[in-house]
Amino acid sequence: MKDLAVIETILRNRHHFFLEIRDGVGLGEKMRAMMISAVFFLALYGAVLGSTHSLWQTLSSAVKLPLLFLATLVVCSPTLYFFNVLFGSNQSLTQNVALILTAITVTAVLLLSFAPIVVFFLLTTASYQFFKLLNVGIFATCATVGVIFLAQGMRIVSTAGKEGATARRWVLWLWIFVYAFVGSQMAWTLRPFIGAPSMEFELFRQLGGNFYTNIFASIGEILGLFVVR
């Protein structure tokens, strides 16, 4: 439970939290606490998603959702670090990872806060496409808040002058775009998380198509334009 207390610290006193990251105070302890908290919250939310289908899907999604975020972190962290170095940042790779973990932890706790709403719609609607789009919207909302925390953290941790700070701000938003693109493709690769009710449980589905065309197809089915198979 001590590790989970890092959430309250981030939400209530994030400026001080980011200053400690800048000064390298307890980075290892902070990263461990955020990792444990994020994995725990994401696993719970993943279990809620998978409960729409079967027990195996519940267990699978509880494992795959934390894996999605952590794998994307591993893939994209070096890019942010070297972009920052290129523009004169003195942040270490560990500090960059700590900042990204902060964003992931905030996203995770916000996702879990939406779990009662997700359960409500799970019990009151039978539309798989609607439920899928609902969760995409929830993920987008929570991730946006996480990005805001990341941007605030980068601004506080950075000690650059105005010109350098402006350049790194553009780098940050470019990296966020890359992170979102990689994350959505990673989610498509690890799917299913919810599990179509008309299909048997599959740990992974065959590759083909992409995340964005599937979302547009789901919107089209809800609007009655065509049927997604």
Tell me, yes or no, whether 57 lies in a domain.
yes
Pairwise pLDDT comparison (185 vs 111), residue with the higher score: 111
pLDDT, residue 216, reads 76
Q: Which of 23-27, 97-101, 119-123, 162-166 has the lowest mean pLDDT?
A: 162-166
pLDDT, residue 226, reads 54
Mean pLDDT to the nearest integer, 189-203: 84
Tell me, yes or no, whether 38 lies in a domain.
yes
pLDDT, residue 159, reads 63
Tell me, yes or no, whether 229 lies in a domain.
no
Tell me, yes or no, whether 52 lies in a domain.
yes
Of residues 149, 114, 151, the one with CA closest to residue 135: 114
Average pLDDT, the chain: 86
Is the pLDDT at 228 greater than 70, yes or no?
no
pLDDT, residue 222, reads 75
Is the pLDDT at 43 greater than 90, yes or no?
yes
State the pTM of this model: 0.87
Tell me, yes or no, whether 132 lies in a domain.
yes
**Can you give the residue range of the structural domain that contains 91?**
3-222
pLDDT, residue 19, reads 93
pLDDT, residue 3, reads 65
Helix (H, G, I), strand (E, B) or coil at 75: helix
pLDDT, residue 46, reads 95
Q: Give the end-to-end CA distance of the chain in Å, rounded to a whole number.
A: 43
Q: What is the CA radius of gyration of the chain?
A: 19
Tell me the pLDDT band of 158, cut-offs 50, 70 and 90: confident
Is residue 203 within 8 A of residue 58, CB to CB? The reply is: no
CA 35 from chain centre, in angstroms, equals: 13
| E strands, the chain, in order | none
pLDDT, residue 84, reads 79
Domains identified in the chain, total number: 1
Tell me, yes or no, whether 119 lies in a domain.
yes
pLDDT, residue 65, reads 95
Tell me the pLDDT band of 227, cut-offs 50, 70 and 90: low
Tell me, yes or no, whether 228 lies in a domain.
no
Tell me, yes or no, whether 127 lies in a domain.
yes
Of residues 76, 77, 8, 7, the one with CA closest to residue 40: 7
Angle between helix 55-86 and 27-50 (nearest 10): 140
* % of the chain residues with pLDDT over 90: 45
Q: DSSP letters along 135-185, please?
A: HHHHHHHHHHHHHHHHHHHHHHH----HHHHHHHHHHHHHHHHHHHHHHHH
The tens digit of pLDDT for each residue in 52-110 reads: 888 999 999 999 999 999 999 999 989 888 887 877 777 888 999 999 999 999 999 99
Mean pLDDT to the nearest integer, 131-138: 92
Q: Which of 33-47, 59-73, 102-116, 207-221 has the lowest mean pLDDT?
A: 207-221
